Amino acid sequence: MTFPFGFICDLLEELHSLCLDGKQQRAKDAIRRWFATHRALINSLGRCGHALLSTLLPDRRTDRVYSIQTNRLEFIIKRSQRLGKQRFERLRRYRQAGVKLDLGDCVQDIWNETWTQHHLRRSQVTIEDIDRLLDGIAANNKFSSPALRANKEASGSFQSGDLEGLYARLSPVEAKWFTRLVLKDYRPVELDESWVLQNYDARLPQILKVKDDFFAAMATLQVINDASLQPGDGTKVLQYLRPTLGTKVSRVFWRKGRSIKHCLEMGRGRMSVEKKIDGEYCQIHIDLSRMRARKEQCIQIFSKSGKDSTEDRKGLFG
């Protein structure tokens, strides 16, 4: 099954309208209704559900680095729509002081001029199309995760001009949100991550605590579904949650306390308190079965953001 990108845009448009009307408190209801409306199609995605989560929560994909900021994206859009000088300047109106627009708004404005009644109301672009394209861009970027760069299928499938070609297929609203997706910034819309995950599947937040990776989490969820376990079978679900080498474990949520008294006031139930020491947080995975090999082959380091930073932190190997 495929999932139209237009459905994602429907949700983002509704959330944007609520934000502009000062009704952000209704965002959770909008997200819940959206998931309920598309439940059958979402369930049919199976292990491919990572594409949906990656589209809704693009900032979670720290393994993907595109090196595409607004300057570069402007020229990609220009080539896609073959913009002349005047229209290109209109595309860049968001740069003007006092103009409450972003590049996505300007893209929608330009698209509205060419998106005629001869076009379909929405395009046929799917989240799978977008996921493959973004994987391809990231796989060819030296700052992306080693695992993604090693994916020959992803890196080999991307061709120069693919991004421009996808833009040419998008409707005005889709082009706006796709621009923000590439920039990993949907603001002013801010989706509540925990609420999105909870509505996708009530077991997903628990799984991501142990396997903080959309691919690994969806694979585990599929195994649990195959075992016919329900959200209420908490104890049985736990048997499928085992930390895996190479998959980051989610870090605990920290709050900064001013004193022990303040810590006790903030905390509830069981908690831990530790003294903050200057330095840099990282999570280190050591494959003991490969200890005889070079250290570079048995040690994997994840940064605080969840990115595989093994190559950048070789100084820690000792």
CA–CA separation, 262 and 64 (whole Å): 38
Identify the residue whose tokens are 């950048």. 312
Q: Write down the pLDDT at residue 118.
A: 45
Determine which of 1-15, 120-134, 211-225 has the lowest per-residue pLDDT on average.
Answer: 120-134
CA–CA separation, 42 and 38 (whole Å): 6
Question: In angstroms, what is the C-alpha Rg of the chain?
Answer: 22
pLDDT > 70: percent of the chain: 90
Q: How confident is the model at residue 123 (pLDDT cuts 50, 70, 90)?
A: low
Determine which of 19-23, 74-78, 89-93 has the lowest per-residue pLDDT on average.
Answer: 19-23
**pLDDT, tens digit, for every residue of 25-77?**
889 999 999 999 999 999 999 888 999 999 999 999 988 999 999 999 999 99
Q: Write down the pLDDT at residue 299.
A: 84
Question: How is residue 283 annotated by DSSP?
Answer: E
Q: How far is CA 311 from CA 137, 191, 204, in A?
A: 20, 32, 30
- All structural domains of the chain: 1-200 (1.10.3260.10)
Q: Write down the pLDDT at residue 72.
A: 93
**pLDDT, tens digit, for every residue of 263-273?**
878 777 777 77
Q: Write down the pLDDT at residue 145.
A: 86
Instruction: Please state the separation of Cα 41 from the chain's center in Å.
Output: 20
Residue 169 is encoded by which pair of tokens?
């297929």
- Does the global pTM surpass 0.85? no
